[in-house]
Amino acid sequence: MTEQKIRVGKRLLAAAEYVAVSSVKNSDGKKICADIGCDHGYLSIYLIEKGICDFVYASDINEKPVSIAKKNISARDTRGLGLSEKIDIRLGDGLAGLENNGINYVIICGMGGEVISGILERSRDFWKNGVNFILQPMSSELELRAWLSENGFCIDDEKLVRDSGRIYTVMSVSYTGEKYEYSQSELMLGQKNIQKGGELLFELCGRKLGHARNLLRQQEVSEEDKALERELSELLESLK
């Protein structure tokens, strides 16, 4: 079987980096990861080949990517890496069926923010100390941050990455049980991202401000929309 080239983009590399730099291990002294929405298994393979994780549960809700992921792992097993012994590929919805496996890292990348929050909502067994969540929403970042803050999740860190011409947010999150308050601009752009600043934030803020101003041209604009436009304007000015 021909070995497939592993293409791990910057957004997935950023997610893997959060696991790599963390010292958190489970009660057995291991890093066990759940790669939710694993697609073709590239991130799961990367996590094992680079020695970042001891074991990965890779899950996807669709049969085709699961089948391709299994083929990719089988092809690379010819190199003697034993990937099939360290990656468990499963067809499933989110984290369902992965309870009590010692998982202490959950990576959910490449989905809308509301889909991600839905997966977390259905996975309350994982809401506990010692479990780190690495999330990379493709859209609805504001809605995801709002859900996290309301449901007791602390956004420990965030970073912006440019991948294939788009700017993405990758965040490291943990459950504390406490509610967190953020301004509208912090919900939209990320408090940690704002604190760090940088060219990507400047560009992203400009885009969001343009969108907010388009909304202001419409009728029946809410006070919340007006406040967001003011916040973004002030932030963009401070970044110049």
Q: What is the pLDDT of residue 5?
A: 62
Reply yes or no on whether the pLDDT at 3 is more than 60: no
Q: Is the dihedral of CA 206, 209, 211, 214 positive or negative?
A: negative
If one compares 236 and 101, the residue with the highest pLDDT of the two is: 101
- When pLDDT is cut at 50, 70 and 90, the band that residue 38 belongs to is very high
pLDDT at 220: 64
Report pLDDT for 2.
Answer: 47
For the residues 77-106, what does the mean pLDDT come to?
A: 88
Average pLDDT for 82-105 = 93
- The answer on pLDDT for 137 being more than 60 is yes
Is the confidence at residue 237, as pLDDT, over 70? yes
* Cα distance between residue 240 and residue 234, in whole Å: 10
Residue 208 · residue 188 · CB < 8 Å:
yes
In 3D, which of 207, 204, 191, 205 has the Cα closest to residue 235? 205
Query: 49-53, 70-74, 114-118, 126-130: lowest mean pLDDT where?
Result: 70-74
Spatial distance between the Cα atoms of 8 and 45, rounded to a whole number of angstroms: 10
**Is the model more confident about 76 or about 48?**
48
Contact in structure between 159 and 16 (CB atoms under 8 Å) = no
Residues 169-197 have a mean pLDDT of 95
Taking the C-alpha atoms of residue 54 and residue 24, their distance in angstroms, rounded to an integer, is 13
The mean pLDDT value of the chain amounts to 91
Q: What percent of the chain has pLDDT over 70?
A: 93
Residues β-bridged to residue 159: 170
What is the reported pLDDT for 213? 81
Q: Of the given ranges (21-35, 36-50, 70-84), which has the lowest mean pLDDT?
A: 70-84
Rounded to an integer, the average pLDDT of 79-107 is: 90
Confidence of residue 231 (pLDDT cuts 50, 70, 90): confident
Residue type, 28: D
- Tell me how far apart the alpha carbons of residues 94 and 62 are, in angstroms, rounded to a whole number: 11
The proportion of the chain whose per-residue pLDDT surpasses 90, expressed as a percent, equals: 74
- The whole-number pLDDT of residue 78 equals 57
- Angle formed by the axes of helices 141-150 and 113-121, to 10°? 30
Per-residue pLDDT, 238: 84
Residue scoring higher pLDDT (2 or 162) = 162
Q: Average pLDDT, stretch 170-195? A: 95
Dihedral angle at the C-alpha atoms of 188, 194, 197, 202, nearest 10 degrees?
30
* Of residues 147, 130, 172, the one with CA closest to residue 24: 130
Phi, psi dihedral angles at 6 (to 5 degrees): -90, 120
pLDDT score, position 162: 97
Token pair, residue 194, equals 């704002």
Which pLDDT value is given to residue 122? 96
> Is the confidence at residue 80, as pLDDT, over 90?
no
